Amino acid sequence: MARNIAVGIDIGTYQIKIVVAEQVQNDGVISPKILGTGFAESRGLRHGYIVNVPEVTRALKTAIAQASKSAGMKIKKAYISVGGIGLSAITTTGSCVISRADLEITDLDVAKTLEITEEEIPQTLSQNKRIIYSIPIQYKVDGKIVLGNRPLGLKGTKLEAKVLFITSLEHHLKDLVEAVEDAGVDVVDVVASPIAASFVTLTKAQKIAGCVLTNIGSETVSIVVFENNIPISLEVFPIGSTDITNDIALGLRIPLEEAESIKLGGVTSTDFPKRKLDEIVSARLSDMFELIDAHLKKIGRNGLLPAGVIITGGGSSISILEDFAKSSLKLPSRIAHINFPEREKGKIREPFFAVALGLCIIGFNADESDETTVGKLLGHRKNLLAPIKDWLKQFLP
């Protein structure tokens, strides 16, 4: 029996993280087993987008070599994450008249409605962007919400759909694929970083009740809002934990390396008032959470997500972060923990590897029959795994 092995590559602004995992069965329970990991300091990125492809490729080769050695196998193909300020989302609605004479809704009606919703995206928001995937949030038949989100087989005269489109800058996607393939690894597919992280940091109960997963990276903060088990909004802000490090360095007049250590609670020889440090960190955190709160207000979810805010990313290790998020957003708050077997937790640093491991989980559930984001991007069909349809099954009816 062939081994089900997947590789996830998370290319962040600060570091590249790689996880090699295998899907195994223990006592009748299917779970991931970590075979190896690798990481390297990123080069050639700014705010999550690539500014120098050769530098990214060199950093990737270092991380890939480390992961290959750790896993005891050559990495030939992988799922990669896309993030940064080039990642965005837009929600549109569209409708169409039911085509059949008996008014029964078919796959054709659903496909036509979704096509119309895509046409409703303003050109100013779609220019130079590629739709990575579309997620139907809600269907209506003759103005009534479809319970269970399953319109097929129902009868009516008009079908409406509300759809979340997740997009990325097209040139960034091409640069990303080029950098990985120049490093000797084929790209199976591309997944938005916040979505990938949600597979291992959120429970189904949290997604159903409503929550916001917040990833604090070095130069960006990304959020994805879940409700009724589906993502209903995604946003990326051009601010990150590096801004906190810079503020500490300026405020305490110390080197950047020492400021980074202090931010993460490390021991330092510098004497400084703790109150002053808290004021510096709080000021920048306030900027971050004001942006998040403004977005939640925009979509009508501020203070209305019972499962609260779950925080992940490299910046999540700031000591006062959890309490600050709770008071700022007026929501329950906690630092994310990766949801997988205890025996594997010592093999990775959480939530450091959340996105890379999430990519592996997506790879385990992929299908070999569909067209990939990469294939669409490069203008041809690749006969490789394509997770888009399958990973959406947990969100769709």
> Cα(194)–Cα(131) distance, rounded to whole angstroms?
16
Rg, C-alpha atoms of the chain: 22
pLDDT band at 359 (very low <50, low <70, confident <90, very high): very high
Nearest in space to 200 (alpha carbons), one of 341, 38, 62: 341
pLDDT of 92-119, one tens digit each? 999 999 988 999 999 999 999 999 999 9
- Tell me the pairing of strands 333-335 and 309-312: parallel
Mean local confidence (pLDDT), 21-40: 84
pLDDT for 337 beyond 90:
no
Between CA 115 and CA 134 the distance in angstroms is 10
State the CATH architecture for 204-335: 2-Layer Sandwich (3.30)
Please report which confidence band the pLDDT of residue 365 belongs to, taking 50, 70 and 90 as the band edges.
Answer: confident
Calculate mean pLDDT across residues 64-75.
94
Which residue ranges does the chain devote to CATH 3.30.420.40?
Answer: 5-85+170-201+343-394, 204-335
The pLDDT of residue 4 is 85
Q: Which CATH number fits domain 5-85+170-201+343-394: 3.30.420.40, 3.40.50.720, 3.20.20.140, 3.40.630.10?
A: 3.30.420.40
| Tokens 């708050």, residue located | 333
Q: Pairing mode, if any, of strands 45-46 and 29-41?
A: unpaired
Q: Residue length, the chain?
A: 397
DSSP code of residue 396? -
pLDDT band with cut points at 50, 70 and 90 for residue 127: confident
Give the Cα-Cα-Cα angle 157, 120, 372 (nearest 5 degrees).
100
Determine the topology of domain 88-168 in CATH.
Answer: Dna Ligase; domain 1 (3.30.1490)
Q: Above 70 in pLDDT, residue 375?
A: no
pLDDT digits (tens, 9 = 90+) for 151-184: 998 999 999 999 999 999 988 899 999 999 999 9
Per-residue pLDDT for 376 more than 70? no
In the predicted model, what is the mean pLDDT of the chain?
A: 86
According to CATH, where is 3.30.1490.110 located in the chain? 88-168
Mean pLDDT score, 226-239: 93
